[in-house]
């Protein structure tokens, strides 16, 4: 493990380390307007959701590391405290990247990046027609975190209205991540795409409280076969199977064959039981995994 102290690195070096490590980060594709009516569109990956009631989004247009200048977005929200924040999907990511070009003030990135402006319902800045999700917001506060290059400026936004393309909703009216196809930011030139094999589900912790890893039998807890993720899933059960259930499962042909095959090698039996349990976990069958793991030699 290599240890870094901010004081030992340049701001640019530590900036790169932070962006590479704190990832992926959602992207606020922010549309703003200045007091003269000039529209600006720019992406920011220092962004997230912080409250539901009130609905608060916060993004941070940092001061530029190289020369300590501020971005047009920051200047605009100080003049006109309104913003439309769009969620970036894969079908628009190259255009979004183009919009991050440092064009001169007064240049409309909607035009440069080829996006269609749509009049917003509640705020002055326009929204992007091609975006699947857009939040019209009023800016409640802009909090400066410093006056040096790299210092952030927290733009605290309250959502007034949300626009969602019905094409990304499932049959229950909930946003389907597979349809949203969201994009997130990593370090350097890297992005990530929330689709395909990168999407997975994990059952939420039980309200009735899972047993936890500390309450597992030692040979399961200290398994050389099961991963930390496997143990985490196994710990999210309210109780272990009863001795009767374990004994009944032990009469299955698969377990009986394994007992005969490894009757003189208990360690191999345990390893193969754990491998079989791991297969069950890969199939999301936690109950079966526990019935396998609680078999004795």
How far CA 88 is from CA of 58, 97, 138, 148, 264, in Å, comes to: 16, 10, 20, 29, 59
b vs e for 239-253, b when ≥16 Cβ sit within 10 Å of the residue's Cβ? ebbeeeebeebeeee
In this predicted structure, what is the pLDDT of residue 296? Answer: 79
pLDDT class of 188 with cuts at 50, 70, 90: very high
- Check residue 213 and give its pLDDT: 96
Mean pLDDT of 157-173: 97
Tokens of 282: 């890969």
Tell me the whole-structure pTM to 2 decimals. 0.89
Asked if 68 and 74 touch (Cβ cutoff 8 Å), the reply is no
Instruction: For residue 154, list its beta bridge partners.
Output: 143
Closest CA to 232 of 271, 270, 273, 204: 204
Judge residue 169's burial from the number of C-beta atoms within 10 Å of its C-beta, 0-12 exposed, 13-18 middle, 19 or more buried.
middle
Query: Would you give the DSSP letter of residue 288?
Result: H
Which pLDDT tens digit goes with each residue over 248-294? 999 999 999 999 999 899 999 999 999 999 999 999 999 999 999 99
pLDDT of 297 above 80: no
Q: Is the pLDDT of residue 33 over 90?
A: yes
Give which of 272, 286, 275 is closest to 210, Cα–Cα: 286
């Amino acid at each position: 493990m290599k240890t870094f102290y901010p004081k030992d690195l340049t701001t640019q070096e530590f900036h790169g380390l932070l962006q590479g490590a704190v990832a992926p980060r959602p992207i606020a594709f922010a549309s703003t307007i200045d007091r003269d009516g000039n529209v600006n569109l720019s992406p920011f990956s220092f962004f997230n959701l912080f409250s539901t009631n009130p609905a608060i989004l916060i993004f941070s247009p940092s001061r530029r590391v190289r020369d300590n200048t501020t971005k047009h977005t920051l200047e605009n929200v100080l003049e006109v405290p309104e913003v439309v924040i769009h969620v970036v999907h894969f079908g628009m990511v190259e255009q979004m990247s183009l919009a991050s070009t440092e064009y001169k003030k007064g240049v409309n990135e909607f035009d440069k990046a080829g996006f269609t402006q749509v009049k917003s319902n509640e705020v002055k800045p326009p929204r992007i027609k091609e975006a699947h999700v857009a939040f019209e917001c009023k800016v409640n506060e802009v909090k400066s975190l410093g006056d040096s290059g790299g210092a952030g400026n927290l733009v605290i936004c309250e959502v007034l209205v949300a626009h969602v393309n019905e094409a990304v909703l499932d049959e229950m009216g909930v946003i389907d991540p597979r349809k949203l196809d969201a994009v997130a930011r990593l370090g350097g030139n890297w992005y990530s795409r929330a689709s395909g094999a990168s999407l997975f589900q994990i059952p939420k912790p039980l309200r009735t409280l899972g047993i936890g890893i500390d309450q597992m039998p030692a040979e399961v807890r200290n398994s050389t076969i099961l991963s930390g993720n496997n143990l985490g899933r196994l710990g999210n059960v309210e109780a272990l199977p009863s001795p009767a259930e374990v004994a009944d499962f032990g009469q299955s042909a698969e377990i009986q064959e394994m007992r005969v095959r490894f009757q003189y090698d208990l360690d191999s039996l345990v390893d193969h039981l754990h491998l079989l349990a791991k297969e069950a976990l890969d199939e999301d069958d936690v109950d079966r995994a526990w019935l396998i793991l609680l078999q004795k030699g």
